[in-house]
Chains A and B, each alone.
Chain A
């Protein structure tokens, strides 16, 4: 027996047990070692490096050697003419996406849940999930082709109807609508999966009782299915509200053109351009903007979660 601590008082005994448990599981820690190293190197080292937001980083001095400048980088962003449009664009795109994209999957799930014909149900599911698996580059490429003023579907349709073809991709006013509704097109089916899963766990006895009481389908949806979905919907809403500053970088960046930059420049694309694309790379400034976004996002998530817990008893943690 490795455990032969003599009576040395309670705390010593507890420590002995503690070490015994760790020693006994050493192989589990060995399995965890590689993932932990990865976590530290690729996730936590960047958090340490984010301190350059408070320095004037220069490659010659490195992270620790560059001079401190306090909040100068943050002030520069808050006072920059870019600040207002970038924040507004980010928030408008996010909330528009949220408002359009949140209820439709719920509607689809409720509706699909009513269908008993297996063939029909499976085909609808198969087709509606499919766009989720198309890459962002291809989706945006499809948008360009589909809405092309000359060779697009909209152009052909306009031609058939004797109208002049629209040029939506070149119209800054249409950018937000195209971004949001193509997102809805792509993700509605896949987002509905989770609600369908929850609906399948609703106690059948509730429905049976409701039918006995003479409830029609709409009433059963209203009083059984929707309340059943509410906790899940709440958690997802909290999560997406916490992410309003994280507009899908990949898609926005691909959809940007000199024409629509006024409405299409968001925090993430701006961070990328300042940090890695501009003629004078400014690591510190870019990091400061990214850090500000990260911190505000975290506070937002905690606040929304707190509010959701107080008001509805449903929260992420």
Chain B
């Protein structure tokens, strides 16, 4: 992409027609509008979360905090359920991601080897699950019959291997590891286990980073459905389920609002709390996001090579 940019600037220094200049202005305007549209709701939520309950309930907040206050955040930090959900989500994300990445890598490496008999059939067996599945209830029955219902295992084991992630990992191995390297290791007397551990894994670091991100964010941190069907016990709930109770079902522990006698103020705090919660829940991903953005992009590109 860098080379493209330099050649572009070379051309455009020489001939930039009037039409092109106008076109580029329109283009910039278009991108600016899109960016603003995407930013607007985010700014509103953040602004409201730092406003006072009275300003929120009166609908006076637009794009800047009104009567700056941290009350919403203070209330959240006292909410045990939210913290419990946070801790559970961290647990599921951490161990779940390790499980996903290990499974994907140990499946992808053999399947990337051209000399493996049965490689095509097994790959197709994995990819087929992308197109067709037994369905919600039969999957639920398997989890139930294994005795995983209402345990932490139910949040980890069924996620296993994402076929798309498997495909990009296979593609990665096939395109970045020359067969000669593996052949050389074999001639030097290395077993496949040894080759995998000492040569493949160190080279796989970039794809492992991409996989970890995909799985952590898409499969674990941001999902709630798995927990919705497999978990009953409140203590096991991940953050997203707690968020659902508060943000969507509007059920807020009344004891949190008890200090406030005025009905309107109480209603205001109820809403204010939601704004702050939205911010708090998104902060972990948003903090790491700028650092990992380019890895995601790389992952998408590997996926598009196919």
Which residue numbers of A lie inside 8 Å of B, CB to CB? 18, 21-22, 25, 27-32, 34-36, 38-39, 41-50, 52, 63, 108, 111-112, 114-116, 118, 120, 123-131, 133-138, 140-142, 144-146, 148, 150-153, 155-157, 159-160, 165, 185, 188-189, 193-194, 197-198, 200, 204, 207-208, 211, 216-218, 232, 242, 249-250, 254, 268, 271-272, 275-276, 283, 286-287, 290-291, 294-295, 297-298, 301
Q: Min CB distance, B181 to chain A, in Å?
A: 16
**B176 to chain A: which residues have CB within 8 Å?**
none
Which partner residue on chain A sits nearest B240 by CB separation?
Answer: A137
On whether A287 and B137 interact (CB within 8 A), knowing A197-B300, A200-B1, the answer reads yes
Q: How far is the CA of A132 from the CA of B70 in the complex (A)?
A: 27
Q: For the A-B complex with A146-B41, A150-B57, A208-B11 known, give 11 more contacts whose Cβ atoms are closer than 8 Å.
A: A25-B116, A111-B30, A134-B222, A135-B222, A137-B281, A150-B59, A185-B37, A194-B300, A208-B7, A294-B133, A301-B131
Least Cβ–Cβ distance between A137 and chain B, in angstroms:
5
Q: Tell me which residues across on chain B come within 8 A of A148, comparing CB atoms.
A: 271
Given that A120-B28, A127-B38, A142-B41 are known contacts, is A46 also in contact with B103, CB under 8 Å in the complex? Answer: no
Q: Mark B229-253, 1 if CB is under 8 A from A, else 0.
A: 1000000000010011001100000
Of all chain B residues, the one with the shortest Cβ separation from A274 is: B137
Within 8 A of A (CB), among B134-185: 134-142, 146, 157-158, 160-161
What are 28 contact pairs spanning A and B, CB under 8 A? A21-B117, A29-B110, A30-B193, A31-B109, A31-B196, A32-B111, A36-B107, A43-B133, A46-B138, A47-B134, A128-B34, A131-B38, A136-B224, A141-B247, A141-B277, A151-B268, A151-B271, A156-B60, A159-B59, A160-B62, A188-B34, A188-B38, A194-B304, A216-B20, A249-B225, A250-B224, A271-B137, A276-B229
Determine the residue in chain B with the shortest Cβ distance to A284. Answer: B137
* B41 in contact with A291 (CB, 8 Å): no
A130-B289, A144-B247, A146-B41 as given contacts; A286 in contact with B107, CB under 8 Å: no
Asked whether A135 lies within 8 Å of B48 as measured between CB atoms, the reply is: no
When chains A and B are docked, how far (Å) is the Cα of A306 from the Cα of B110? Answer: 31
Q: Which residue of B44, B146, B217 has the most chain A CB atoms within 10 A of its CB atom?
A: B44
What sequence of 0s and 1s flags, for each residue 273-294 of chain B, a beta carbon within 8 Å of any chain A beta carbon? 0110110011001100110010
Q: How far is the CA of A17 from the CA of B230 in the complex (A)?
A: 48
Which residues of chain A come closer than 8 Å to B304, judged between CB atoms?
194, 197-198, 232
Segment of B74-82, B121-129, B202-210, B255-263 engaged in the interface with chain A = B121-129
**Bound-complex Cα distance A156 to B275 (A):** 15
Binary contact readout B1-44 vs A (1 if CB under 8 angstroms, 0 otherwise): 10111011101100101011001100110110011011111101
Does B84 reach chain A (CB closer than 8 Å)?
no
A31 x B110 contact (CB < 8 A): yes
Distance between Cα atoms of A111 and B23 in the complex (Å)? 10
Residues of A within 8 A of B217 (CB): 133
- Report which of A42, A157, A198, A216 forms a contact with B160, defined as CB distance below 8 A: A42
B65 to chain A, nearest CB (A): 13
* Pair B281/A130 contact, Cβ less than 8 Å: no
Interface residues of B (CB under 8 A from A): 1, 3-5, 7-9, 11-12, 15, 17, 19-20, 23-24, 27-28, 30-31, 34-35, 37-42, 44-45, 48, 56-57, 59-62, 103-104, 106-107, 109-111, 113, 115-117, 122, 125-126, 129, 131-142, 146, 157-158, 160-161, 191-193, 196, 217, 221-225, 229, 240, 243-244, 247-248, 268, 271, 274-275, 277-278, 281-282, 285-286, 289-290, 293, 296-297, 300-301, 303-304
B141 touches A49 (CB 8 A): yes
A85 to B122, CA, bound (A): 39
CB nearest to A272 among chain B residues: B136
Q: How far is the CB of B219 from chain A (nearest CB, A)?
A: 12
A112 engages B57 (CB within 8 Å): no
Closest 10 CB pairs of A and B: A46-B134, A141-B247, A290-B135, A35-B107, A49-B138, A27-B192, A135-B222, A46-B138, A28-B110, A47-B134
Residue contact B244 to A32, C-beta cutoff 8 Å: no
Q: State the Cβ distance, A276 to closest chain B Cβ, in Å.
A: 6
Which single member of B34, B56, B111, B286 contacts A130 (CB below 8 Å)?
Answer: B286
A114 to B225, CA, bound (A): 40
B9 and A116 form a contact (CB under 8 A): yes
* A residues near B293, Cβ cutoff 8 Å: 125-126, 129
B292 to chain A, nearest CB (A): 9
Contacts of B221 in A (CB 8 A): 135
CB distance from A176 to the nearest CB of B (A): 19
Closest to A62 in B: B145
Residues in A whose Cβ lies below 8 Å from that of B9: 116
Q: Which residues of B contact A135 (CB under 8 A)?
A: 221-224, 240, 243, 281-282
Please give, as numbers and ranges, the residues of chain A lying within 8 Å of B297 by CB-CB distance. 193, 197
Closest to A108 in B: B34
When distances are taken between beta carbons in the complex, the residues of chain A under 8 Å from B122 are 32, 36
Residues of A within 8 A of B243 (CB): 135, 137-138, 141
Chain A, residue nearest B288 (CB):
A133
**B34: chain A residues within 8 A (beta carbon):** 108, 124, 128, 188
Contact between B8 and A116 (Cβ–Cβ < 8 Å)? yes
